[in-house]
Chains A and B, each alone.
Chain A
């Protein structure tokens, strides 16, 4: 930075001492808490947990929690980059089928071209990232709404998943790669289990937690995070002060692609074959998790932790209904109600934040 007058000691608490304290009364710890994007989702998650703890006796058992966390993690791994993308002001409707594409590429490339699955895994990473970059590039070049661009990619990928699988394997699923070199080590990385306190957990939970930590670090403590908030909050203002908005958005789409790759490899190595029609509709689940977690649908506001809690609500609800032995049809209703409540809360937050003096 340029040479400046010596800055006073950074003491946020001391700011109130220089005559501003009487106006600071309005910002009590409670109000600060209300300003957090995750607040609504935390309250919702506690409510859902308490509800199912009473409704289903088996819900609070260790093994049930492991199941819930596993269901949450497969959504959560994608919800984190999708939340970042939404904070950056865009959607990705292709995220759901991109997971399947990534798994298919990995499986088919390994099977057809080499004897080692790691080659396929690597190629899949490159191709998936390229698809993400394509989304971002098209968006920033054409300036069309991301809804349209990614709807196009979504349809194309859906068709390609089915078409290529049919063309190469002649069926709707890939051939098993379980006997190939490297399968065991890849499975250890993407689809193994570990035991903690006598309860078995899936490794995706660790992937999920790691992604939340990394994404939170990026959002709150790096320049890129500042740019993500700015690109979504006001693209033109951000561009005017020199933020590389196009680069930021392409990076966000590639982040979603990275998440899709992780989940895709998990699916492949936990079942050793992939159904080509899977993943359709999941993109909305990721978006819903992010929105429940406090992301504004218009961008510029939200958090990675919130998206994780949104995914957790998802996991608890979908599995809780099973544990309570209810008709799973009610799952969708429950979800819709959560989404509406979360969005209303977000709208209220935004109104408060944007209110001018």
Chain B
């Protein structure tokens, strides 16, 4: 599973362009211990004249969790779409295990070992759990016109794999839409782990979940990391990110606002930066001082 520093990766490290706008390159120090599974350098993406992403640098190592933090519209979705193969990047370099790549389709990304679990589109709600689990990579047996799904194997494996991750399913035949949001995320993660993904990209896995369910999902994220996968965790919740993350990349309006390893930053600082840093202070200032207008029952204009 691990890819210890091979020649290709080292070569990749040398010609890294340092033109990434404002990118804090925390990579150099880590290259020695093993090449990153995925490395983005100054990656940009434009939609027409809209700059969705500009000069983003990100590393994903085996057995580590790289968190991408940002507010709505910060470019998080664009970033994962590039990694997942849904969009092609316009500029910068995208390396998988040291090899320069442009992914043309999600299938290609999967074949390269990158599995993505989306917040809303992880599963097809009306299909049974076992069909969802193997969707896109269905095992078959038999030959020619009698090549068919290996249904008993699919059912049994789904049941076993989910139980291994601690999901005790009533019935693998139930439509996956009847599972809770957290369970659906976990099924998707279990699926990625089972199919031998090297890199797991999670899009806001805890966004729509309650505290307890979020905890369950984060536990599986950590389990995937311990299994040796490199994890990209996209979130706007710094508390969740700091619980499991090893590196943190902050995005703001399409550009990088910071890049830190865990030992460089505290939760408070991460939260502050995530919330907009000094902007948050200004906002607090305004909220405290702003007198309520008269029509809302305040006394702001009474004296006037």
Give chain A's interface residues, CB within 8 Å of chain B.
Answer: 1-2, 4-5, 7-12, 15, 19-20, 23-24, 27, 217, 221-223, 225-227, 229-230, 233-234, 236-244, 296, 300-301, 350, 353-357
27 pairs of residues in contact across A and B, judged by CB atoms under 8 Å: A2-B194, A4-B161, A7-B156, A7-B157, A10-B156, A12-B173, A20-B170, A24-B171, A27-B170, A27-B174, A222-B149, A223-B149, A226-B135, A226-B138, A229-B127, A237-B123, A237-B124, A238-B124, A239-B106, A240-B106, A240-B121, A241-B136, A241-B137, A242-B107, A243-B135, A353-B175, A356-B181
Q: How large is the interface on B (under 10, 10 to 19, 20 to 34, 35 or more residues)?
A: 35 or more
Q: Does the CB pair A244–B107 fall under 8 Å?
A: yes
Question: B116 contacts the other chain (Cβ, under 8 Å)?
Answer: yes
> Of residues 142 to 179 in B, which have CB atoms within 8 Å of A's CB atoms?
147-149, 151-153, 155-157, 159-161, 164, 168-175, 177-179
Bound form: Cα–Cα A229–B171 in Å? 19
> Of residues 117 to 133 in B, which have CB atoms within 8 Å of A's CB atoms?
118, 121-127, 131
- On chain A, the residues within 8 Å of B164 by CB distance are 5
Bound form: Cα–Cα A353–B160 in Å? 24
Q: Does the CB pair A23–B124 fall under 8 Å?
A: no
- On chain B, the residues within 8 Å of A357 by CB distance are 178-180, 183
- On chain A, the residues within 8 Å of B148 by CB distance are 217, 221-222
- Which residue of A has the minimal Cβ distance to B175? A353
Bound form: Cα–Cα A280–B239 in Å? 62
Contact partner, A355, options B122, B123, B124, B178, Cβ 8 Å: B178
A9, A15, A24: residue with the most chain B Cβ atoms closer than 10 Å: A15
Q: Does the CB pair A23–B156 fall under 8 Å?
A: no
Question: B147 to nearest A CB, angstroms?
Answer: 7
In the A-B complex, the 7 residue pairs with the smallest Cβ-Cβ separation, listed nearest first, are A10-B152, A242-B136, A241-B136, A233-B124, A237-B121, A10-B156, A242-B107
Contact partner, B106, options A1, A10, A20, A242, Cβ 8 Å: A242
Q: Does the CB pair A222–B147 fall under 8 Å?
A: yes
Residues A243 and B195 in contact in the complex (CB < 8 Å), given A20-B170, A230-B127: no
Cβ proximity bits B88-124 to A, threshold 8 Å, 1 near / 0 not: 0000000000000000011100100000101001111
- Which residue of B has the minimal Cβ distance to A11? B156
- Which residue of B has the minimal Cβ distance to A299? B126
Question: A233 to nearest B CB, angstroms?
Answer: 4
Give chain B's interface residues, CB within 8 Å of chain A.
Answer: 84, 86, 105-107, 110, 116, 118, 121-127, 131, 134-140, 147-149, 151-153, 155-157, 159-161, 164, 168-175, 177-181, 183, 191, 194-196
Q: Does the CB pair B126–A354 fall under 8 Å?
A: yes
Bound form: Cα–Cα A190–B134 in Å? 40
- On chain A, the residues within 8 Å of B151 by CB distance are 221
Contact partner, A230, options B105, B135, B140, B181, Cβ 8 Å: B135
Question: B262 to nearest A CB, angstroms?
Answer: 30
- On chain B, the residues within 8 Å of A217 by CB distance are 148
Q: Does the CB pair B157–A353 fall under 8 Å?
A: no
With A230-B127, A241-B110 known, 16 other A-B pairs at CB within 8 A are: A4-B157, A7-B156, A15-B171, A19-B168, A217-B148, A221-B151, A230-B124, A230-B131, A230-B136, A237-B122, A239-B106, A240-B84, A242-B110, A353-B125, A354-B178, A356-B178
- Which residue of B has the minimal Cβ distance to A229? B127
Bound form: Cα–Cα A12–B158 in Å? 12
Bound form: Cα–Cα A241–B176 in Å? 15
- Which residue of A has the minimal Cβ distance to B121? A237
- Which residue of B has the minimal Cβ distance to A221? B148
Bound form: Cα–Cα A242–B106 in Å? 6
Bound form: Cα–Cα A234–B120 in Å? 10
Q: Does the CB pair B126–A237 fall under 8 Å?
A: no
- On chain A, the residues within 8 Å of B196 by CB distance are 2
Question: A146 to nearest B CB, angstroms?
Answer: 19
Q: Does the CB pair B171–A27 fall under 8 Å?
A: yes
- On chain A, the residues within 8 Å of B194 by CB distance are 2, 4
- Which residue of B has the minimal Cβ distance to A10? B152
Question: A4 to nearest B CB, angstroms?
Answer: 7
